[in-house]
Amino acid sequence: MYVTRVEKITTLAPAADGRFHVFAFDLVVTVEGPVDPEHGMVVNLSEMKETLRRDVVQRLAGRCLDGTNGTPELRTPEALARGIWGMLGGRLGQIPVRRVRLAGGRSVFDYRGGDTVDVTRVYEFSAAHRLHSPSLTDEENLRVFGKCNNPRGHGHNYILEVTVRGEPGETGELLEAATFDTIVATEIVDRWDHRNLNEDLAEFANLNPTAEEIARIAWRRVKDPLEGSAPGRVRLHRIRIRETDRNHVEYLGD
């Protein structure tokens, strides 16, 4: 069973120009283990909190992580996530850590041991669509899609999450945020935002633009540019489309 604890962490990271980045993240640590038959827990949560605060948060909070004054040198969130894993020795007491996540702003960094890290960036776009399958009759379309079959369409504020996986490069980053954002803006957000997906976009001309199809098209559009930006090092791992705050789809490729 998995147990997750969230702490807040704020540090400074030295930038190339001699200034600093402020890293303000939710530190999300997940452990996995059996439920102890005596106390009914995987881990004592107050001990988990104490350990995380003592071994990680207090050692890093408010410090500049430049490798001096006893601090570790952790210049990127990717390195920070991996460094925190190392500070815990991959365990919380006897219980193995399964994931260290740093989440802040529009980025999520996940480290699960090994050489790779997952980086997720979060985007938004607003678009109209109509759910309608040409292979069904009008009556069947109405029955299957309900009000989503409304002939004049309806809109959503979509949340798009794009996750890449790989080994950080020489800068310590997996993929520079500006590169990531330019690719996703060019291929998806700038194309789809404030559009009618059915009527305005060639990629949906012959597709019913369900969240599932939107995720698949998004995958196809960003896969080559993202992976091509760091050949052999970065792979597209997941597309998540949140159509409402009550439903989302995830696509991990075929």
Query: Which residues of the chain form contacts with Ni ion (CB under 5 A)?
Result: 148
Nearest-approach distance from CB 191 to Ni ion, in angstroms: 18
| Neighbouring-strand partners of residue 235 | 165
Q: By C-beta, is 20 or 145 nearer to Ni ion? A: 145
Coil vs helix vs strand at 220: helix
Nearest-approach distance from CB 220 to Ni ion, in angstroms: 21
Q: Which of the residues 64, 176, 194, 199 is marked catalytic?
A: 194
Q: By C-beta, is 87 or 148 nearer to Ni ion? A: 148
Nearest-approach distance from CB 131 to Ni ion, in angstroms: 6
Q: By C-beta, is 52 or 127 nearer to Ni ion? A: 127
Concerning whether 64 is annotated as a catalytic residue, the answer is no
Q: Which two tokens stand for residue 231?
A: 């050949």
Alpha carbons 190 and 169: distance in angstroms, whole number:
28
Alpha carbons 173 and 189: distance in angstroms, whole number:
23
Residue number of the CB closest to Ni ion reads 148
Q: By C-beta, is 75 or 240 nearer to Ni ion? A: 240
Q: Which of the residues 78, 173, 213, 243 is marked catalytic?
A: 243
C-alpha count within 13 angstroms, C-beta hemisphere, residue 112? 8
Q: Which of the residues 21, 32, 148, 248 is marked catalytic?
A: 148
Nearest-approach distance from CB 147 to Ni ion, in angstroms: 9
Could you please report the per-residue DSSP string of 13-61? EE-TTS-EEEEEEEEEEEEE-PPPTTTS-SS-HHHHHHHHIIIIIHHHT
Residues with active-site annotation: 148, 194, 243
